[in-house]
């Protein structure tokens, strides 16, 4: 697969939120306001690129080399958790403006299954290093795109009169279904 | 007010029914419920991890320092997930392949970490196990129900473990299955409508 197809596949066809169902908790949790959605999207892009490449390196050069493949899950979550902690400390010291912008979303990323999911998918699909890097970046871009689109819609829904049992999460899920349907149209592209 | 062991168990079945009441653990709820069998399988795997991690965290709660508790929880949970992963590879390989990426992702399922933080870290071993089992069974039933609805509407029939099966067309000959329900958009819409139904019943 060429890199162009890979990019289209990651952003649209296999969109991490709407087609693969990864990272849905922050998707519903942080999409009530546009500001928080943008913050979350930036934080995910930042961490996912780092996590995707580092876990690939750890898997290929440590776990496979020493025959420890069965420790994948534990190794990956430890890498992600410490990476998030490290990024948090680094940003606090050197780029306080960005740190303030990302705020509470950074620590939440440890338990964002989109991050862990992409790391596992990179390995399962047997990507090379460069493919893993591109895939991580564009899966994250796809996450951001879907999240920001959804936040825009949800701000509108907030003003609409929704029947009581459908309020909040219920209508949000149905709206997400509609966006997912729109993304479904990309299915035949790659 | 202290609850009894039975109350801790039953609260997971309705009051705190994970995907509907707490709206946690949505990724596997949406991702694996293309059939009832997958939903139940995922639920059982999660229940095992929940009970195991609740048990161990509750036993170790006086030894885990507060400051690094989240890291400790994650390591314990990840160990149990690895056990489940290996067990499923050994005994239920077809199901393991179907659930795919969602098995290692039990680690980051908010329900498991949520119960560890909110319950197991503060309560006795027996209560923590009852809590884990109750929430786990509630989750399994919810996933099974969602899987059953989607499979029934999407394929027109439900089959569990090869022998138990029900065909909708036999009762409603005019029914045509619409595969929309088993595809990605159907997952969101079906869960949204079920949530609505639960809200109606709850009121």
- What is d(CA B90, CA B96) in angstroms, rounded to the nearest whole number? 9
**Contact state of B26 with A174 under an 8 Å Cβ cutoff:** no
Three-class SS state of B124: coil
Is B12 contained in some domain? yes
Does the pLDDT of residue A133 top 90, yes or no? yes
The domain tally of chain B equals 1
User: Count of A–B CB contacts within 8 Å?
Assistant: 125
Both tokens assigned to A1: 């697969």
- What is d(CA B148, CA B166) in angstroms, rounded to the nearest whole number? 10
Phi, psi (degrees; rounded to nearest 5) at A15: -45, 130
Could you read off the pLDDT of B113-128 as tens digits, one per residue? Answer: 888 888 899 899 999 9
Cα–Cα distances (Å) from B195 to A168, A173, B86, B132, in that order, read 10, 9, 34, 23
- What is d(CA A181, CA A133) in angstroms, rounded to the nearest whole number? 28
Q: Where are the beta strands (DSSP E) in chain B?
A: 157-160, 164-167
Does the pLDDT of residue B1 top 50, yes or no? no
Within 8 A of B82 by CB-CB distance, chain A residues are 70-71, 73-74
Per-residue model confidence (pLDDT) at position B81: 95
Within 8 A of A115 by CB-CB distance, chain B residues are 108
Q: How many residues does chain A have?
A: 190
Name every residue in A having a CB less than 8 A away from some CB of B. 18-25, 28, 70-74, 76-78, 81, 110-113, 115-117, 120-121, 124, 164-167, 169-174, 176-178, 180-181, 183-184
DSSP states along A128-175: -HHHHHHHHHHHHHHHHHHHHHHHHHHHHHHHS---GGGTTHHHHHHH
- Residue B88 has, within 13 A of its CA and on its CB side, a CA count of 26
Alpha carbon B145 to chain centroid, angstroms:
11
Within 8 A of B200 by CB-CB distance, chain A residues are 165
Kindly provide the ipTM of the predicted complex, given to two decimals: 0.86
Is B180 contained in some domain? no
Q: B165 CB contacts (<8 Å, ≥6 apart)?
A: B157, B158, B159
* CA angle (A133, A142, A56) in 5-degree steps: 25
Is B195 contained in some domain? no
Residue of B nearest to A107 (CA): B70
Residue environment code for B29-57, b if the CB has 16+ CB neighbours within 10 A, otherwise e: bbbbbbbbbbbbbbbbbbbbbbbbbbbbb
**Contact state of B196 with A170 under an 8 Å Cβ cutoff:** yes
- What is d(CA B119, CA B50) in angstroms, rounded to the nearest whole number? 11
Both tokens assigned to A49: 């690129």
Phi, psi (degrees; rounded to nearest 5) at A4: -65, -45
Residue of A nearest to B195 (CA): A170
**Contact state of B24 with A184 under an 8 Å Cβ cutoff:** no
Within 8 A of B192 by CB-CB distance, chain A residues are 166, 169-174, 176-177
User: Alpha helices of B17-92 — where are they, by DSSP H?
Assistant: 26-31, 36-59, 69-91
> Mean pLDDT across the stretch B140-162?
86
Nearest to B86 among A70, A113, A164 (CB): A70
Could you read off the pLDDT of A19-51 as tens digits, one per residue? Answer: 888 888 888 888 888 888 888 888 889 899 999
What single DSSP character describes residue A66? Answer: T
Q: How far is B87 from chain A (nearest CA, A)?
A: 12
- Residue A77 has, within 13 A of its CA and on its CB side, a CA count of 25
Alpha carbon B139 to chain centroid, angstroms:
4
Per-residue model confidence (pLDDT) at position A52: 95
The answer to whether the CB of A154 falls within 8 A of the CB of A170 is no
* Domain extent at residue B129: 5-147
Is B163 contained in some domain? no
Could you read off the pLDDT of B55-110 as tens digits, one per residue? Answer: 999 999 999 998 888 889 999 999 999 999 999 999 999 999 989 889 999 998 88
Does the pLDDT of residue B165 top 80, yes or no? no
- Residue A99 has, within 13 A of its CA and on its CB side, a CA count of 13
Q: How far apart are the first and last CA of chain B?
A: 24
Residue with tokens 């991890």: B49
Is B194 contained in some domain? no
What single DSSP character describes residue B188? Answer: H
Name every residue in B having a CB less than 8 A away from some CB of A. 23-28, 30-31, 71, 74-75, 78-79, 81-82, 85-86, 100-101, 104-105, 107-110, 113, 183-189, 191-193, 195-197, 199-200, 203
Per-residue model confidence (pLDDT) at position B2: 61
């Amino acid at each position: 697969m060429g890199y162009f197809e890979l990019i289209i596949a990651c952003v649209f066809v296999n969109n991490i939120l709407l087609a693969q169902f990864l990272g849905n908790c922050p998707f519903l949790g942080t999409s009530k306001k546009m500001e928080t959605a943008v913050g979350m999207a930036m934080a995910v892009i930042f961490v996912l690129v780092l996590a995707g490449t580092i876990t690939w390196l750890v898997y290929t050069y440590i776990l496979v080399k020493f025959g420890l493949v069965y420790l994948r899950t534990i190794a990956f979550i430890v890498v992600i958790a410490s990476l998030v902690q490290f990024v948090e400390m680094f940003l606090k010291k050197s780029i306080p403006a960005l740190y303030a912008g990302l705020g509470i979303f950074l620590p939440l990323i440890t338990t964002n299954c989109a991050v862990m999911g992409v790391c596992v998918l990179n390995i399962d699909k047997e990507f090379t290093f460069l493919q893993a890097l591109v895939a991580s970046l564009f899966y994250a871009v796809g996450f951001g795109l879907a999240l920001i689109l959804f936040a825009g819609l949800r701000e509108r829904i907030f003003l609409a009169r929704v029947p009581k049992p459908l309020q909040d999460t219920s209508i949000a899920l149905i709206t997400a279904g509609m966006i997912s349907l729109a993304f479904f149209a990309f299915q035949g592209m790659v | 007010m202290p609850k009894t062991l039975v109350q801790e168990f039953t609260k997971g079945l309705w009051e705190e029914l994970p995907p509907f009441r707490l709206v946690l653990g949505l990724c596997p709820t949406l991702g694996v419920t293309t059939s009832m069998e997958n939903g139940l399988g995922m639920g059982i795997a999660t229940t095992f991890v929940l009970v195991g991690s609740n048990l161990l965290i509750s036993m170790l709660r006086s030894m885990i320092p507060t400051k690094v508790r989240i890291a400790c929880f994650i390591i314990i949970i990840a160990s149990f997930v690895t056990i489940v992963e290996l067990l499923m590879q050994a005994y239920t390989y077809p199901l393991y392949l179907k659930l795919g990426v969602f098995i290692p992702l039990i680690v980051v399922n908010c329900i498991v970490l949520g119960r560890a933080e909110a319950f197991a870290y503060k309560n006795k071993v027996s209560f923590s196990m009852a809590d884990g089992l109750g929430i786990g069974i509630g989750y399994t039933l919810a996933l099974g129900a969602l899987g059953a609805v989607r499979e029934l509407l999407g394929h027109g029939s439900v089959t569990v473990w090869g022998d138990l099966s029900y065909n909708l067309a036999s009762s409603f000959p005019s029914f045509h299955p619409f595969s929309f329900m088993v595809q990605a958009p159907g997952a969101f819409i079906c869960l949204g409508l079920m949530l609505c139904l639960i809200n109606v019943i709850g009121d």
